[in-house]
Each structure stands twice: as structure tokens, then as C-alpha cells.
Amino acid sequence: MADQEIENAVSRAIEEAPPRNFRETVDLAVNLRDIDLNDPSNRIEESVGDVVLPAGTGQETHIVVFAEGETALRAEDVADDVLDGDELADLADEEGEAKDLADGTDFFLAEESMMQDIGRYLGTVLGPRNKMPTPVSPDDDVVEMINRLKNSVQLRSGERRTFHTRVGAEDMSAEDIANNIDVILRRLHAGLEKGPMNIDSVYVKTTMGPAVEVA
């Protein structure tokens, strides 16, 4: 159960957001302190699928899988798209199409045997966007991996002291969003050298709404 102060901040952020003609996301902004982010070992780099939100993201998550054979067959029922080796090679000659795919996809998965070709064909497109695929080994359950990713977010600070992540959507309950935030804050506290002392401030806001500090 999330702290009541977190839930109150979420409620304020949603209530104070001006009406929009689209469904807004709810985002969390985290400001770090007293940490040398020039040292890569100090950066927040939670892997894809490691941070699963208990109430989900509140948004459609677009997942593409690079696979062939049995893995491709199993992924077809749950992934948004499954691309084989020939389709991957075709993307190498279609930079615009590759960029559109990268920008329109939240997460990529790929059979381990295809990772080298993905790096060669799409590395320059996926790398800068932090969207290189998560490898799928022969023993992995690709269906479970996809379902997990649908409720996952990434936590990446890079060299920046302020980073953002999605925690829900405006039509979700404040309690559900607060529980999502609580999971993220607990993960950050556990991963930072000084725990909560390395967090300067935390804000929650809708896409176009004002930021509200989370106490």
C-alpha cells in the first residue's frame, strides 16, 4: 500500500490538469543528488522488464519480436508484430522505415541467434533510442516475457540528474498510480548508494498538467 501523501499528490496532479482532448499519461520526474553520474556504475539503469508496475502502465505497449520457428509462432498471439530474418535484412535498406518502427515500438525482443544481425542492421537506429532488443534464449518463455513487458517501465538516468518515467494514465485511480510510484521509489531506494538520501525531489504530473511534488 502506497503512502497516503503519494496518493494525495497524484490526486492533485490529475485534478489540477486542464482538460485535454486526448488521454494523458501520468509521469514521474525524479531529481537525484550527491551522486557522480559521470561514473556509469552510479547511473540508474534498470533493465527492461525488471520494473513491473502492479497496476499496469495504463497505456497500450507496442512490442515487436524478431524471431523464427517455434518462438515466432508462440509470439504471434501476444506481440504486436513478429519479424523474421528476411524482414530484418530488408530494414537495413529502408532507414526511414526502420526509424518509424523504432519510434513506434516501446520494447523489442529478439532470439539470441538474431542479435548479431540486429546490431549490424539496426544498431545505429535502436542504440541511440535505448531500444536494443532484450535477448530471448531457447529456454525463455517468450509469451511470459511479452506479458511482463506490457506492464513494465524503464528507469534510466544516463548522465542526467533528472529523469522521467511513466506511472499511469489520467483515468486510472489515484490509489493505483500511487502504488505504481511506490514500487518505483522502493526500487530506486534499494539501488542508490545512499538510498533515499540520493533523491533530491520527486514530482508527478500529467502530460500537459502542472507538476506536483511528492512528499
Sequence spans of domains, the chain = 4-58+152-213, 63-149
Grid cell for residue 124: 545505429
- What is the b/e burial string over 157-170, where b = at least 16 CB atoms within 10 angstroms of the residue's CB? beeeeebebbbbbb
**pLDDT-based confidence at 97, cuts 50/70/90?**
very high
Residue 50 scores a pLDDT above 90: no
For 4-58+152-213, the fitting CATH number among 3.30.450.80, 3.30.505.10, 3.30.190.20, 3.40.50.620 is 3.30.190.20
pLDDT at position 48 over 70: no
pLDDT at 1 over 60: no
> What is the rounded CA–CA span in Å between residue 13 and residue 23?
14
- Beta carbons within 10 angstroms of residue 42's beta carbon: 16
Give dist(CA 27, CA 167) in Å, integer: 5
Whole-number pLDDT of residue 46: 77
Helix (H) or strand (E) holding 97: helix 95-104
Q: Measured between alpha carbons, how far is 130 from 44 in angstroms, rounded to an integer?
A: 13
pLDDT over threshold 90, residue 183? yes
When mean pLDDT is compared over 64-68, 163-167, 190-194, the highest value belongs to 64-68
Given the candidates 3.30.70.2610, 3.40.50.790, 1.10.10.10, 1.25.40.10, the CATH classification of the domain at 63-149 is: 3.40.50.790
Work out whether strand 63-66 and strand 81-83 pair parallel, antiparallel, or are unpaired.
Answer: parallel
Q: Do domains 4-58+152-213 and 63-149 have the same CATH topology?
A: no
Which of 143, 180, 176 has the alpha carbon at shortest distance from 165?
180
CA proximity to 134, closest of 103, 110, 156, 106: 110
